[in-house]
């Protein structure tokens, strides 16, 4: 496999829906509330979100290798540091470059949104780095799930909605929770799959701390909750936003059946792809519903 292809796969493109969906959803909500939508802000926000996520993935790749979490026994997708494609130092440098570029793309957003966007941007970059690196790595302390809800949910949706409208709105926070919950399903499945290996190296994810049954219950709750939360949009009078996401429910139920039936293993790589599909499909259908409202 060519080096370029290896590096692109290290970006974990199948999971980048976690950066795409909140930006699209926030823009759709701004439109639904009768506010002006800034197309340039959407593009810059997308680029910044993609780069922060890719940077986080690369730092995770390098740090997990150095801490012994990625070994030949790992059942997840291939990691470039563990595979010897690039050294941990070079992967870390590439991740740092992504964070720097994310900051650059965030400058136009700061010029429009002011100091609240500076705060959101700094927190997002620092949390991306601190996910596995630094003195208090979130993933190793069992705080990775909270990071995803905050960054890929509340901050991403609420921040871009604020940039579009100049307002803080409870509807944006509600939407952010829905999007964040589905994004967190991805990391919950990933951590349940890697639970045995993570335990050996002291990576105390939620799955390691509380066990398989807890993790499966977490996945079920996080998957179903956003569908139930659509009652909020019905009460707001936005019927399409409440109903269209139900088209993603069959895929969600198929995912949950698989999670309940199968023990953590190689098959969870397929479940991870299904979870990304649920996140993408639900988010885009909800966004479409908001545009039609």
The enclosing domain of 75 has a CATH number of 1.10.600
Q: How many domains does the chain have?
A: 1
Percentages helix, strand, coil for the chain (3-state, rounded to 5) are 80, 0, 20
**Of 6-15, 133-142, 184-193, which has the strongest mean pLDDT?**
184-193
Q: How far apart are CA 2 and CA 285, in angstroms?
A: 36
Local confidence band at 284 (pLDDT 50, 70, 90 cut-offs): very high
Q: What is the pLDDT of residues 56-87, one digit of tens each?
A: 888 888 887 777 655 555 566 667 787 777 78
Q: Tokens at residue 162, please?
A: 């604020």
**Mean pLDDT, the chain, integer:** 89
Q: Tokens at residue 200, please?
A: 């050996």
Q: How far apart are CA 61 and CA 243, in angstroms?
A: 39
How many Cβ atoms are within 10 Å of 147's Cβ, its own excluded?
A: 20
Angle at 291 between CA 290 and CA 293, to 5 degrees: 60
Which of 63-67, 187-191, 228-232 comes out lowest in average pLDDT? 63-67
What is the average per-residue pLDDT within 263-286?
A: 94
Q: Tokens at residue 63, please?
A: 């740090």
CA 36 to chain CA centroid, Å, is: 26
Q: Is the pLDDT of residue 176 over 80?
A: yes
Going by C-beta distance under 8 Å and a sequence separation of 6 or more, which residues neighbour residue 44?
105, 106, 108, 109
- Show the domain range for 254: 15-292
**Does some domain include residue 154?**
yes
**Does some domain include residue 10?**
no
- Residue that the structure tokens 């639970």 belong to: 195
Q: What is the pLDDT of residues 18-39, one digit of tens each?
A: 899 999 999 999 999 988 888 8
Question: What is residue 134's predicted lDDT score, i.e. its pLDDT?
Answer: 65
| 3 state DSSP class of 2 | coil
CA 177, 181, 186, 187 torsion: positive or negative?
A: positive
| 3 state DSSP class of 37 | coil
**Does some domain include residue 62?**
yes
**Does some domain include residue 3?**
no
What is the average per-residue pLDDT within 147-166?
A: 92
What is the average per-residue pLDDT within 279-293?
A: 95
Contact predicate 139/132, CB 8 Å = yes
Rg (alpha carbons) of the chain, rounded to whole number? 19
**Does some domain include residue 9?**
no
| 3 state DSSP class of 230 | coil
**Does some domain include residue 4?**
no
| Closest C-alpha to 142, from 193, 208, 192 | 208
Q: Is the pLDDT of residue 240 over 90?
A: yes
**Does some domain include residue 8?**
no
How many Cβ atoms are within 10 Å of 224's Cβ, its own excluded?
A: 15
pTM, 2 dp: 0.90
**Does some domain include residue 213?**
yes
């Amino acid at each position: 496999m060519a080096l370029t292809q290896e590096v692109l796969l290290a970006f974990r493109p199948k999971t980048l829906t976690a950066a795409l969906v909140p930006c699209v959803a926030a823009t759709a909500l701004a439109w639904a509330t009768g506010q002006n939508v800034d197309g340039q802000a959407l593009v810059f926000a997308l680029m910044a979100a993609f780069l922060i996520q890719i940077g986080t993935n690369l730092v995770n790749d390098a740090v997990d290798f150095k801490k012994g979490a990625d070994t030949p026994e790992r059942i997840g997708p291939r990691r470039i540091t563990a595979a010897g494609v690039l050294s941990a130092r070079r992967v870390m440098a590439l991740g740092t470059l992504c964070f720097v570029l994310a900051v650059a793309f965030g400058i136009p957003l700061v010029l429009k949104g002011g100091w609240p966007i500076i705060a959101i941007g700094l927190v997002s970059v620092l949390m991306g780095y601190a996910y596995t690196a630094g003195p208090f790595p979130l993933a190793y302390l069992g705080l990775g799930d909270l990071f995803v809800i905050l960054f890929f949910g509340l901050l991403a949706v609420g921040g871009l909605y604020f940039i579009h409208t100049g307002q803080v709105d409870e509807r944006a926070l509600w939407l952010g929770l829905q999007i964040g919950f589905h994004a967190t399903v991805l990391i919950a499945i990933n951590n349940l799959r890697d639970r045995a290996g993570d335990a050996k190296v002291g990576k105390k994810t939620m799955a390691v701390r509380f066990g398989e049954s807890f993790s499966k219950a977490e996945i079920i709750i996080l998957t179903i909750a956003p569908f139930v939360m659509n009652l909020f949009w019905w009460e707001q009078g936005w019927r399409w936003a409440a109903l269209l996401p139900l088209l993603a429910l069959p895929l969600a139920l198929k995912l949950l059946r698989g999670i309940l039936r199968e023990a953590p293993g190689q098959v969870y790589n397929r479940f991870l792809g299904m979870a990304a599909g649920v996140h993408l499909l639900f988010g885009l259908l909800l966004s479409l519903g908001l545009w039609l409202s």
